[in-house]
Amino acid sequence: MSRKGNDAAAAAGGTVRRATIKDVAEAAGVSRSTASRALTGRGYVATDVRERVLDAARELRYVPDATARYLKQQVSLSLGVLVSDLRNSFYARLAAGAGAAARGQGYSMVLAEDGGSVEAQLEAAETFVAMRVAGVVVTPVSADVSTYLSRHRIPVVEVDRQFAAGDVDAVVVDNHHAAQRVTQRLIDLGHRRIALFIDETTWTTGRERHSGYHAALSEAGVPLDPDLVVSSGWDVEAAHAAAVALLQTDRRPTAVFAANNVLAEGVWRAANDLALSIPADVSLVSFDDAPWMSLVTPGLTAVAQDESALGETAVRRLLERIAAPDSAPLTVMMSTKIVDRDSIQAPAAD
């Protein structure tokens, strides 16, 4: 023995080296090549030798170094997932679904948040490139991420919203149609003054939800009142303030369609603060079905997306693309459903 064993070093208080395949090979009295074959199961190894190697590996608690393996094979087993805000249940569930799908396929998930910032998103993308992840699932905030990652030959799937339609895969829902249907529902109940709360119309989500709302009104011959389309900010507070303002006007809407769960929360809080009764004084529907919407009274009628399925599908699509890098980009459309609860009813007679 030319070198002290690990146990001796440990007893001496020295730093314990992690066991490498070389240690395993020496302990089993074989070469590194043979040890590798025994451990990976590729190539010929005599059964007794294989046993010796496996025993040695167990004994030494050998865990192969994934980074070294990647370096040699140039095949990574981790996926990047990049979302806006984990505190938002929508993204949390999306990430949970993605993580589960990844794990199920033997991948691990590197998760990053960008808080909706383009720069933060690019920074995260750069980290993913540096880590040589096998692919990335992203809820994009600009076209730049997909472009950047594609340039670096990293497969991307856009999920929830789409900025690079046609260039990369995407998994989305039919925002236009769902928004139209739910607006239609309000119109059918007799509503004519229907407000839309929306944060952003430059993303596909916002744009399509807006157009769906618009389409439903047009089709019913209800004139579009620009004052009823409220572009509040991103967060609950902004939506809350905007809702308080709108709901206090003398000709307030009889119904509100909130284009996402954050906006719905703002409107809900505003109605509560103003002691307006939902749905008696004002009906409320939401795009996105957040957990709280089934807990409050009345429960909120909402367009529900299966966020987990969104994440899972995105990961599955990503792995398909990794397997077939040159196939044409696909946009997968997931279904939504309207969950009927008790936050909408016919408007009070004037």
Residues that bind DNA (CB under 7 A): 17-18, 20-22, 29-34, 36-37, 39-40, 42-47, 49, 62, 64-65, 68-69, 71-74
User: Which option in DNA, a copy of itself, none does residue 329 bind, with CB closer than 5 to 8 A by kind?
Assistant: none
User: Can residue 22 be called a binding residue for a copy of itself (CB under 8 A)?
Assistant: no
67 sits near a copy of itself (criterion: CB under 8 A): yes
Which positions ≥6 away from 192 have C-beta within 8 Å? 222, 254, 347
Comparing CA positions, the residue from 133, 139, 198, 186 lying closest to residue 163 is 139
For position 296 contacting a copy of itself by CB under 8 A, the verdict is yes
CB of 162 to DNA, least distance (A): 32
User: Binding mask 220-259 vs a copy of itself (x if CB under 8 A, - otherwise)?
Assistant: ----------------------------------------
Alpha carbon distance 153, 155 (integer Å): 6
* 329 lies in the binding site for a copy of itself (CB under 8 A): no
By the rule CB under 8 A, 280 interacts with a copy of itself: no
Minimum Å distance from CB 6 to DNA? 12
Pair 314, 159: CB distance under 8 Å: yes
Tokens representing 317 are 């699509």
Candidates 179, 148, 67, 161; CA nearest to 116 is 161
Residue 58 interacting with a copy of itself (CB under 8 A):
no
**What does the alpha-carbon distance between residue 332 and residue 7 come to, in Å, rounded to a whole number?**
55
Using rule CB under 8 A, residue 78 touches a copy of itself? yes
Q: How far is CA 224 from CA 49, 221, 348, in A?
A: 79, 9, 21
**What's the DSSP call for residue 278?**
T
| Torsion sign over Cα 294, 295, 301, 302 | negative
What residues make contact with a copy of itself under the rule CB under 8 A? 16, 18, 61, 63-68, 70-71, 78, 85-87, 89, 92-93, 95-96, 99-100, 103, 108-113, 126-127, 129-132, 151-153, 265, 268-269, 272, 291-292, 295-297
